[in-house]
Amino acid sequence: MNYTKSAIIVFLILLVDQVVKIWIKTHMYLGEEFSVLGDWFKIHFTENEGMAFGMTFGGSTGKLFLTIFRLIAVGFIAYYIHKLIKHKEHPGFIACFSLILAGAIGNIIDSVFYGVIFSDSNYQIAQLFPKEGGYEQLLFGRVVDMLYFPIYEGYLPSWIPLWGGDYFIFFRPVFNIADASITTGVACIIIFQKVFFKNPNQNKIQADGK
């Protein structure tokens, strides 16, 4: 795989991710949802402070730390992809890291810019580039999530240890296309590692750092 193909993967994921997020922000208010496929696939608009699948971390300080960490991580991932392409590593392995890079950039865009370019979505549909300014300052925007798969929802059988009788939803987290891209990239690396790491050049890259 060459630089062009890797860039195309990143660009296409980013395009779909941002188009969907902007549509959600400009057509739905926070907490609104609608069904796509019955009760097990819904579009549910929620926002989080930057971690994947709706998780939070450390308030404003944690939010700033996560954003800066992501920016640094994106630089390292992009450099690693450069090394993989330079050493002609397995195309699938490069594609996986391209997916991870695209997902990281997608959520960074939300964190860095959305607070500035959008008004708040609480009880209202957000405006793009509002005259009065955005809902937050640069680097403190919230990540838009919308993909919700409550495949099972109900009370667990009483015979199940510890959780028997509890109300349970699977899959509870709400996520976005960027999250899915990162998860897919990581999962494919794990699943196909024996295929990807057959190339002896992989060890050379890790050893010489070039």
The residues annotated with a catalytic role in the active site are 145, 179
Q: Would you call 42 helix, strand, or coil by DSSP?
A: strand
Q: Which residues does 89 contact at the CB level (< 8 Å), separation at least 6?
A: 196, 199, 201, 202, 205
Task: Read off φ and ψ for residue 167, nearest 5 degrees.
Answer: -80, 130
User: Rounded distance, CA 192 to CA 195, Å?
Assistant: 5
User: Rounded distance, CA 81 to CA 4, Å?
Assistant: 12
Q: Which helix (H) or strand (E) holds 121?
A: none
Q: Are 145 and 31 in contact (CB under 8 A)?
A: no
Q: Which helix (H) or strand (E) holds 40?
A: none
User: Rounded distance, CA 104 to CA 185, Å?
Assistant: 11
